[in-house]
Structure 1
Amino acid sequence: MSGWLDLDEAQRQLLSLAPVMGSEDAAIEAALGRVLTADIYARRTQPPADLSAMDGYAICGEGPWKVIGESRCGAPFVGTLKTGTSVRISTGAHMPVGAESVLLQENAVRGEDSVSSTETPPIGRHIRRRGFDFSDGDPLINAGAAIGPAHIALALSGGHTKVPVRRLPKVTVIDSGDELASDPENCGPDQIPASNGAMIAAMAAPLVGKAKRIGPVGDNMAALASALVHADDCDILITSGGASVGDHDLVQDALREWGADIAFWKVAMKPGKPLMVATRQSGDRRQLVLGLPGNPVSSFVTAFLFALPAIRQCLGFANPLPLAQTRIAGQTFPAVGQRREFVRGISDGTSVITANSQDSSALASLASANCLIDRAPGAPETAKAEPVTVYSLQNGGFAGA
């Protein structure tokens, strides 16, 4: 396999070529999944005062306690508790000045204007002290973190409406091939519906939003050159089809004419051997180009293992590659040839079996799969119940930032 890269080296080279996006401010409520470019510090103290952790009575001293008012969320008691007094209090309400602890509702015996209990809670019981979560100036979220739902709540609680995050890369996807029909409802007998571009754009959407779609583009230099003009403003260009070196595979030549430099092509993997990675310098910006195979399953697998990691690298993710998991073989897996194989699999979370068909054009088996089974080159037969490595196809199968 002279000239072929193994997958790990190909991914390493790919990530080294991916341009890291600059920073921009984003509304925190719209920043889900975005990567922080700077540390975030609290601008306020949480909680801002001593609060009750339970429903009941804020008390001072020994009981019984005269009930002299109420403290509820948004309407704290105004005044000071003295020994032998209390106020009715709600969870999350401000503790009155002078209150020593909270008598739980279920342990309270209420009289007409007093409350008693057989046991006085110790001082400090059921109180959330001011600043126990964080104080003004405390670090909240570190740079490099991918914003999750809890981060959104934390940033808002810390007084932030905007946060600095990596800019979303502009992604353009080109479908190429004379056999592709743009309208699946009007597809001739010598055509197939163009579907790879829509599939790749959908895979990228959770990371970048809407990708720009071009095509399908015919297998001729003029059509490809015209399409590439419309990709001038992208950060990542992903093509599907035509990246090999057959008589009608013109994408590499068109990319060279466009100004791209081919970094590598041919990776020792199955499916997806004819994978191409290139870069193009456009002013002070480096564009990354991925030429994926035209067979739909090959296009999906290479997008999963290369295009999505490249996008995550651009976004600043600390762990851009898919996360490997272990499952138990639910059947015997045959020995592997010289290329690393990625087998469509169906897992119940514990064991895994192969999908019905492994042909690189079989979309039905791809749609039924929920993982890829990673088979090392030259691996011997794997018996049923032995461990195997898989990559989940849910959420892109990556570990996060």
Structure 2
Amino acid sequence: MGWAQARAIVYAEGLAAAPPPVDVPLPQADGRTLAEPLRTPTGLPAFPTSSVDGWAVRGTGPWRPVGRVLAGATPPPLTGDGTAVEIATGAMLPDGAQAVLRVEESTTTADGRIAGHPRPAPEWRAAGEEAPAGTELLPVGTPVDPGVIGLAASCGYDTLRVHQPPRAALRVFGDELLTAGPPGAGRVRDALGPAVPSWLRRYGCRVADADHVSPVADTLPAHVEAIRAALVDADLVCTTGGTMHGPVDHLHPALRELGAEYVVNTVAVRPGFPMLVARVPGPDGRPRFVAGLPGNPQSAIVAIVSLVAPLLAGLQGRPLPVLPHATLGEPVPGRGDYTHLALVRLDQVRGTAHPVRHVGSAMLRGLAQADGFAVIGPGGRGEPGDRVPVVPLPLLPGERP
């Protein structure tokens, strides 16, 4: 299956299988996704408010002070010309006020009146200036961050209806893997077990330490039991290795035994083509998913950005991210009929992408220095000056590229 088609298919599958939304208190909504539009029930602001400390005045000056209004109070109207009330920043503007004179630009006359010249531009925020009542401020699918929480609070929300973050689990296959110490004597260190949960969290998943099991023995019963146990609580189970058909590759037979259906089985992309996503019936009727990541570390990360990321976007009710573009600063080879995901470092000042070294499918050195993958389409190659899509590596919430 083509790379772009595979991404679209798994995204649609995730969207269809998203758990039902829930209402949560504002502080608990951080990192989740809006399941309904955020609308303001009142105008923003709900009433005219002074932008400065000073005097709300009516008519021409000098003005006779007749009171004071502080934030949080409802002032009586100004009914007489030549009158003023002292007003604090954020306080409600009295009906009848025609201007606000800044305190630092006012003087007091000998008889106690207030003199000065209000600025021509209004020194208050009109009711509904930011948004009239009923305005959609943010659409469905918006990730909730502190800015969204603050906006919701300013509108008067106590809770938000949000999509639940999907729960993910990891099962690492391979008798050859070491979980501690340096590699040697035919055994290699498990590089994916410690890393994949962090990738998944960056895509909005919940991954507990108990959700990570490594390594799983290279037998079919062990594979079946490991995946079945993970599916009890997880919306998504990622596995590493076993996506081909070698003598100890038991993932495909295990999926058959679990009654799984392939959503995507191999993708025309290099590196990492033997990736897959399968759908497994859940006990509540909602499907769960297994994402088979290749065992080679860089190939596994390619599978994450290619299939797991759009699947998780769908499960969270988020839009499929639009890929940014960058200008290639150096040539990038093609991979024949396959899409090539080439690790690149981005020059944010010049907007250029530069390939990194050490990018074999089993290597991680290049990945540790990269910002993302340049996408070179089938049958092509990238030349300096070409504008190409880039799949960015995920960031922690609040991080900026």
Q: TM-score range by the shorter chain?
A: 0.7 to 0.9
Amino acid paired to 2:269: M
Alpha-carbon distance in 1 for matches of 2:25, 2:188: 42
Q: Please, which of 145, 156, 159 is the counterpart of residue 156 of structure 2? A: 159
Q: Please, which of 198, 204, 209 is the counterpart of residue 206 of structure 2? A: 209
Q: Please, which of 80, 83, 86 is the counterpart of residue 85 of structure 1? A: 83
Alpha-carbon distance in 1 for matches of 2:282, 2:334: 46
SS of residue in 2 equivalent to 1:165 = strand
Amino acid paired to 1:217: V
Q: Which moved more, 1:241-250 or 1:7-16?
A: 7-16
SS of residue in 2 equivalent to 1:395 = coil
- Deviation, 1:344, is 0.7
Q: Closer, same or farther in 2 for the Cα pair 1:371/1:81, shift >3 Å? A: same
Q: Closer, same or farther in 2 for the Cα pair 1:186/1:393, shift >3 Å? A: closer
Normalised to the residue count of structure 1, the TM-score between the two structures is 0.87
- Deviation, 1:79, is 7.2
In the other structure, the counterpart of 1:356 is 357
Q: Closer, same or farther in 2 for the Cα pair 1:297/1:110, shift >3 Å? A: farther
Q: Closer, same or farther in 2 for the Cα pair 1:330/1:134, shift >3 Å? A: closer
In the other structure, the counterpart of 2:224 is 225
- Deviation, 1:335, is 4.4
Q: Closer, same or farther in 2 for the Cα pair 1:39/1:396, shift >3 Å? A: same
Identity %: 27
- Deviation, 1:333, is 2.6
Amino acid paired to 2:315: C
Contact 1:56 1:103 in 2 (8 A): yes
Alpha-carbon distance in 1 for matches of 2:339, 2:132: 52
In the other structure, the counterpart of 1:190 is 186
Amino acid paired to 1:196: L
Q: Closer, same or farther in 2 for the Cα pair 1:209/1:297, shift >3 Å? A: same
Amino acid paired to 1:12: A
Q: Please, which of 46, 49, 53 is the counterpart of residue 47 of structure 2? A: 49
Contact 1:173 1:237 in 2 (8 A): yes
- Deviation, 1:366, is 0.4
Deviations along 1:201-256, one digit per CA (max 9) or x if unpaired, are 11121312325212211211232123123113222121111111111111111221
Q: Does 1:309 align with 2:310?
A: yes
In the other structure, the counterpart of 1:173 is 170
Q: Closer, same or farther in 2 for the Cα pair 1:276/1:125, shift >3 Å? A: closer
- Deviation, 1:356, is 1.5
Q: Closer, same or farther in 2 for the Cα pair 1:26/1:336, shift >3 Å? A: same
Alpha-carbon distance in 1 for matches of 2:356, 2:127: 56
Amino acid paired to 2:223: L
Amino acid paired to 2:193: G
Structure 2: any 5+ residue segments left out of the alignment?
Answer: none
- Deviation, 1:43, is 4.4
Structure 1: any 5+ residue segments left out of the alignment?
Answer: none
Q: Closer, same or farther in 2 for the Cα pair 1:8/1:387, shift >3 Å? A: closer
Amino acid paired to 1:93: A
Amino acid paired to 1:178: D
In the other structure, the counterpart of 1:237 is 237
Contact 2:223 2:254 in 1 (8 A): yes
- Deviation, 1:273, is 0.9
Query: 1:6-155 maps to which residues of 2 (within 5 A)?
Result: 6-18=2-14, 19-74=17-72, 80=78, 82-111=80-109, 113-117=112-116, 119-121=117-119, 125-134=122-131, 139-155=136-152
Query: 1:342-381 maps to which residues of 2 (within 5 A)?
Result: 342-349=341-348, 350-380=351-381
- Deviation, 1:146, is 3.1
Q: Which moved more, 1:93-102 or 1:106-115?
A: 106-115
Deviations along 1:156-181, one digit per CA (max 9) or x if unpaired, are 12221112222222212111111112
- Deviation, 1:381, is 5.4
In the other structure, the counterpart of 2:291 is 290
Q: Closer, same or farther in 2 for the Cα pair 1:328/1:135, shift >3 Å? A: closer
SS of residue in 1 equivalent to 2:281 = strand
Normalised to the residue count of structure 2, the TM-score between the two structures is 0.87
Q: Closer, same or farther in 2 for the Cα pair 1:67/1:263, shift >3 Å? A: closer
Amino acid paired to 1:365: G
In the other structure, the counterpart of 1:251 is 251
Q: Closer, same or farther in 2 for the Cα pair 1:142/1:216, shift >3 Å? A: same
SS of residue in 2 equivalent to 1:256 = helix
Contact 1:40 1:142 in 2 (8 A): yes
- Deviation, 1:120, is 4.7
Alpha-carbon distance in 2 for matches of 1:11, 1:390: 14
- Deviation, 1:24, is 1.2
Contact 1:219 1:242 in 2 (8 A): no
Alpha-carbon distance in 1 for matches of 2:331, 2:67: 73
Amino acid paired to 1:241: G
Q: Closer, same or farther in 2 for the Cα pair 1:75/1:185, shift >3 Å? A: farther
SS of residue in 1 equivalent to 2:207 = coil
SS of residue in 2 equivalent to 1:385 = coil
Amino acid paired to 1:214: V
Contact 1:59 1:81 in 2 (8 A): no
Contact 2:325 2:389 in 1 (8 A): yes
Q: For this pair of structures, how many residues does the alignment match?
A: 387
- Deviation, 1:80, is 4.2
